[in-house]
Amino acid sequence: MGDVSGPENTPVRAEVIDLSLGWSFKLTDDVGSNSWLPVKKVPSTVQQDLIDNKKLADPFIGFNEIKAEWVGLKSWTYRVAIPRLSLASTARAVLAFDGLDTFATVKLGGKTILESDNMFLPHRVDVTDFVHGSAYDLDLEIEFASAFLRAREIKDQHPDHKFVAFNGDTARLAVRKAQYHWGWDWGPLLVCAGVWRPVRLEIYSVRIAELRTDVKIADDYKSATVDASIDVEAHSEHPHLKARLTIKLGDQLIDSTDTEVGANGKASGQLKVDNPELWMPNGYGRQSLYTVSASIFHDATELHAESKRIGIRNVQLVQEPDARGKSFYFRINGVDIFCGGSCWIPADSFLTNVTPEKYRAWIELMVPANQKMIRIWGGGIYENDEFYDVCDELGILVWQDFMFGCGNYPCFPDILESIEREAVANVRRIRHHPSIVIFAGNNEDYQVAESAHLTYDYEDKNEEHWLKSDFPARYIYESLLPRVSAREAPWIPYHPGSPWGDGKISSDPTVGDMHQWNVWHGTQEKYQIFDSLGGRFNSEFGMEAFPHIATIKSFVEREEDLYPQSHVLDFHNKADGHERRIATYLVENVRTSTSLESYIHLTQLIQCEALMFGYRGWRKQWGDDRHCGGALVWQLNDCWPVTSWSIVDYYLRRKPAYYAMARVLAPVAVGVRRSHHDWSVTHAREPRTQDWELWVVSSKLIDIVADVEVKFVSVRTGQEIKEKIVQKGIRVKANGTTDVLKGVIDNEKEEPHVLAARIWLNGKLVARDTDWPQPLKYLPFPSRKVNVKVVGNEMHVSAERPVKCLVFEEREGCHLSDSAIDIVPGDTQTIQVRGLKAGSQPLDWTYLGAGEQ
Ligand code: BMA
């Protein structure tokens, strides 16, 4: 029996009893004596627990997803023993559940102590009377009803609401649970259940329930203050508590203040920081993190302590009227940041399999790739603390959606109340992270309303009308959430949706953010014009590509299915019309192939090209009066092995587009391109002339001087068809775009050639870019004479004729400084290789047309 007793009337020091071990689970209906199965550790997910007990075949392999469906249709019960305790008279025992997925009935010693129906809500239940002095350990039992079936029941109870959605069973809209569990256009239908976040037994007399930190920075950035305030629970039973508030940088104490806990349970103090070390995004300076701590004391005894790691930074979402409409970009500590980056989905269908190490590995990938922002998409979860911690440490800005995605959400009174509690709890949990720079109300719910022709009038500001309309969730995005966010985290800008057109249609390119899906979905435009389709901030756009061959082999069970159109490969692609869409972009641009390895390369090349055309153009537009404030690719990651829009696959194997993005987002980059002509419209008769232009983009905060060059290299022979142009000593504008050269291509007199640009800073080559005649399928690629020389940890790559998209093998544990490169004669490129085991085979490689003689 645990003994946490103390002298009468003296408050006890808080302590925590971990409850991660000793659990078992069973099918609720199974009453046999052998029905309980062991759980390795909680948090856990029922499907994974079944896999661990060999009761379920891995749903990520073959067609097993279908065989796993029954799990989501059943009710599951988990249990663990709660130790009996002898508590001091002043102590209470509280069971803290950080997250239950989703319809949970919690019983202690057979009595119901909690019923929960929102996965995103934490719960605390006082169980003092149960555990104190009990003669036995008590069973804690949690029954999880089938969320899939309950969702349908709730939907049926609301026949007046129009349940419409993109992706998944529309009943999902009635349930506060990760929406992608219902299946998405990149993810399987695996309706999970379980204790998905930690459970603890907390013993204390008083406790700091909340620590809030409001940071204010002087206009000259020479000083800052942190208003730290705490809410103390059970203070009224223990008057005369003292509080100490401190701020530290590493081990160095910067400031502290002592105060009393008031009769209302609150205490606050102002902490001062002179010459603060500001928190800056990746690439713009350091990510200094301060720790603000609060302790409460009774006499000299510290009863409870809390701390938050914060950053000193301010953020502005600059939305100002301009010649194009209204700007939309982020300014951090006075610096305008072009937010090139990615959208993020949950990293696993089974959330509890994402370890802190995995989170770190994902976010670490973004840093060398020059990515600045990650968008947590609204169909997943408010992420685990580890996610935000790593973003804070590495300087990755976070765009945080609230958890609503692709649907017309109902607003019946119970759900509104639950959503409000969910919003408050999650904003409080994450608001101190300096990486979080925006809250957005939802993902594409306005687009659903627009495309389903729901009745709404952006001019109507009457909230009661919204609730009574057939698009009631406007109330959530334009009233409930902004209210919570302004009260709980006024330092984080709020935006009603992603996308949101500020009262105009959500696809309006002149205002707000925009999801540009007319490449791939929609009108299936050519990706060569991606930049002309953008808005003020492109928070989604993308192109699918096959994953790595090893990832494909991880789920294909039979050798004979290793071909691009096999049933199992199609099954591991959930996107509507994916065969047609991939095929369209392939046949429009490249000579296709039926061999799996070449098909993988071709789809990956198309993804590289598409994303490059988007990012390169939008970054150029950044320098044009902040025409475009950022671009976030759909999507960084996958939740299972699949063909999707991800640029890195489920097993963290990079697709070539990862490198292409990194190059166009480099701190200083050169861009070169000829004007687009649509070859299918002109029936392959090229226009007689095409303009070309060369520019430089820089995210440096001061003007710099650079040298640039452009060569005109015949695709067929590798010879330069005309004199190269060299421009020395050009002044490159700080944090902007500098137009450098313009010219004309004569398509009658000049043979098809590559424009090959390079840029030097202080004599050092820092970036390249190439522009190819389009489409690539019309170009001849025989006899490229590629040479890859391994020199220590480097590969020196050269060719005698222009090479498109030379991709190196992605080997486990290996990190490459670059890949998916274009090569022109006379310009050897050096690739650094990290992690290649001594004595192992050199890395394999391929390129477009590698098979041509
Ligand atoms: C957008 C996203 C996702 C979806 C993606 C690809 O609609 O918000 O819902 O997976 O496009 O279709």
CATH of the domain at 30: 2.60.120.260
Residues in the chain: 853
Among 169, 202, 235, where does a domain finish? Answer: 202
The conformation of residue 64, written as its DSSP 8-state character, comes to: H
Q: Do 196 and 217 belong together in one domain?
A: no
Residue 131: which domain range?
A: 2-202
Same domain? For 181 and 43 the reply is yes
Q: Convert the pLDDT of each residue in 729-740 to its tens digit.
A: 999 999 999 999
pLDDT at 690 over 90: yes
Query: Among 501, 533, 531, which residue's Cα sits nearest to residue 516?
Result: 533
186 lines ligand 1 (CB under 6 A): yes
Q: Would you say residue 439 lies in a domain? A: no
Within a domain: 637:
no
Token pair listed for 518: 């007319």
Q: Are 543 and 607 contacting, i.e. CB atoms less than 8 angstroms apart?
A: yes
Q: Looking at the structure, tell me whether residues 301 and 264 fall in a common domain.
A: yes
- Shared domain check, 116 and 34: yes
The reported pLDDT for the residue numbered 684 is 55
User: Is residue 14 a part of any domain in this protein?
Assistant: yes
- pLDDT value of residue 7: 57
**Residue indicated by tokens 């379980």:** 194
The tokens for 378 are 């609204």
Does 825 share its domain with 690?
Answer: no
Question: Do 214 and 227 reside in the same domain of the chain?
Answer: yes
pLDDT digits (tens, 9 = 90+) for 528-559: 999 999 999 999 999 999 999 999 999 999 99
Q: How far is the CA of 68 from the centre of ligand 1 (A)?
A: 24
- Say if 598 falls within a structural domain: no
- Does residue 580 belong to any structural domain of this protein? no
Sign of CA dihedral 658, 659, 664, 669: positive
Q: Is 444 in the pocket of ligand 1 (CB under 6 A)?
A: yes
Shared-domain flag, residues 775 and 788: no
Q: Whose CA is nearest to atom 12 of ligand 1?
A: 185
User: Pairing state of beta strands 787-791 and 242-249?
Assistant: unpaired
524 sits in which H/E element: none
DSSP three-state, residue 795: strand
pLDDT in tens, 477-517: 999 999 999 999 999 999 999 999 998 999 999 999 999 99
Does 6 have pLDDT greater than 70?
no
Residues 42 and 165 in one domain: yes
**pLDDT of amino acid 682:** 59
* 540 pocket-lining for ligand 1 (C-beta < 6 Å): yes
Residue with tokens 């477009």: 848
Question: Which atom of ligand 1 is least distant from the CA of 186?
Answer: 10
What per-residue confidence (pLDDT) applies to 455?
80
- Is the shortest distance between the CB of 634 and ligand 1 below 6 Å? yes
Cβ of 443 closer than 6 Å to ligand 1, yes or no, is: yes
User: Average pLDDT for residues 404-422, to the nearest whole number?
Assistant: 98
Q: Report the pLDDT value the prediction gives residue 330, as an integer from 0 to 100.
A: 98
How close is the Cα of 167 to the center of ligand 1, in Å? 9
Ligand 1 atom with minimal separation from the 645 CA: 6
Any domain includes 371: no
Nearest-CA neighbor of 542 among 685, 681, 687, 657?
A: 657
Same domain, 771 and 695: yes
Q: Which of 202, 234, 262 is the last residue of a domain?
A: 202
Which whole number is the average pLDDT over 140-166? 98
pLDDT at 851: 80
Q: Compute the distance between CA of residue 368 and CA of residue 663 in angstroms, rounded to an integer.
A: 10
pLDDT, position 1: 40
Q: Do both 134 and 14 map to the same domain?
A: yes
- Does residue 596 belong to any structural domain of this protein? no
Structure tokens at 466: 């919204």
Q: Which atom of ligand 1 is nearest to the CA of 185?
A: 10
Pocket flag, ligand 1, residue 772 (CB < 6 Å): no
Q: What pLDDT does residue 680 have?
A: 77
Instruction: Indicate if ligand 1 lies below 6 Å from the C-beta of 404.
Output: no
CA of 543 to the centre of ligand 1 (A): 11
Q: How far is the CA of 346 from the centre of ligand 1 (A)?
A: 13
Across the range 789-804, mean pLDDT stands at 96
Q: In this predicted model, what pLDDT tens digit does every residue of 324-369 receive, in sequence order?
A: 999 999 999 999 999 999 999 999 999 999 999 999 999 999 999 9
Q: How far apart are CA 645 and CA 643, in angstroms?
A: 7
- Residue 2: pLDDT band with limits 50, 70, 90: very low
Who has greater pLDDT, 687 or 596?
Answer: 596
Question: Active-site residue numbers?
Answer: 444
Pocket residue to mutate for ligand 1, from 167, 540, 643, most atoms within 8 A of Cβ: 540
769 lines ligand 1 (CB under 6 A): no
Number of folded domains in the chain? 4
* CA within 13 Å, CB half, 835: 8
- Which tokens sit at 679? 């070859």
Q: Are residues 193 and 84 in the same domain?
A: yes
> What three-state secondary structure class fits 273?
strand
| Residue 576 CA, closest ligand 1 atom number | 12
Using the 3D structure, point to which of 169, 187, 202 is the last residue of a domain: 202
If asked whether residues 157 and 238 sit together in one domain, one would say no
The CATH number for 786's domain is 2.60.40.10
E strand or H helix that includes residue 207: strand 207-217
Predicted confidence (pLDDT) per residue in 616-670, tens digit: 999 999 999 999 999 999 999 999 999 999 999 999 999 999 999 999 999 999 9
The predicted pLDDT at position 421 comes to 98
The predicted pLDDT at position 621 comes to: 98
pLDDT value at residue 46: 98
User: Measured in angstroms, how far is the CA atom of residue 443 from the centroid of ligand 1?
Assistant: 9
How far does residue 327's CA lie from ligand 1's centre (Å)? 24
Distance CA 138, CA 28 (A): 19
Q: How far is the CA of 185 from the centre of ligand 1 (A)?
A: 7
Tokens of 725: 């142009």
In a domain, 354, yes or no: no
The token duo for 33 is 């004596």
- What is the pTM assigned to this prediction? 0.97
